[in-house]
Amino acid sequence: MTIRKAVTLAALLFTVSCATPQRVAGPTHSPATPCPAEIASTKSRAGQVWWHENRWRFATDEAADAAYRQLAEGASPWPDWYTPYETTLAPGTRFQMAIGGQQTPEMPGSFGTFDQIRSVSDVRDYLAVRLAWKPQVDRVVTYEVVKPVPVKIGPVGPQVDPDNCALLEGRWSQFQAKVERGTFITYLKIIDVHPIP
């Protein structure tokens, strides 16, 4: 084989290997189906991502399929392997919350994080906030606790978002305030409000 032929063959092999994407899926799964009709199936785009990351945690394909369906059809804020514990946020504790649209800093939701929110992508990916829950996110508020807040606390569980056909991984820290709706602001002081890209 001449040097020219060897170089041509190497270039051809390199081109083919780069142009052929590797599909990551369970052994019994066919190519991804469109969203949203099949969003609760591991054959959907979101399901394929979940399968690649989580199939190993289950003894059988059937058990993994069932776990994904439960995730896609439910909306637990916690991972399936975690039970949140209850505690109290002490005065002086600071946390962040994403807001948007007509929501003002004086209208906090029930969930906050101890991770620094830098972008809307952080909110969607790491806090697993579905589009239907918060269609618009454009600001971050830093709050400080001024009187003890009873909370449930733990990692953010993943979500399947049918509005953008995506698996939102979660995994950041979160708490859920266990106070009467509309009263959370009375436990807090606003420290900072700033826009996020």
Q: Are 170 and 115 in contact (CB under 8 A)?
A: no
Question: For the whole model, what pTM was predicted?
Answer: 0.79
Same domain, 32 and 109: no
Same domain, 177 and 136: yes
Distance of alpha carbon 27 from alpha carbon 150, whole angstroms: 45
Same domain, 93 and 189: yes
Same domain, 106 and 61: no
Write out the DSSP string of 152-189. Answer: EEEEPPPEEETTTTEEE---SEEEEE-S-TT-GGGGEE
Structure confidence by residue, pLDDT tens digits, 71-122: 999 879 999 999 999 999 999 999 999 999 999 999 999 999 999 999 999 9
User: Other CB atoms closer than 10 Å to residue 108's CB: what's the count?
Assistant: 21
Residues of the domain holding 64:
22-73
Q: How many folded domains does the chain comprise?
A: 2
pLDDT attached to residue 128: 97
Same domain, 45 and 134: no
Does residue 179 lie within any of the structural domains? yes
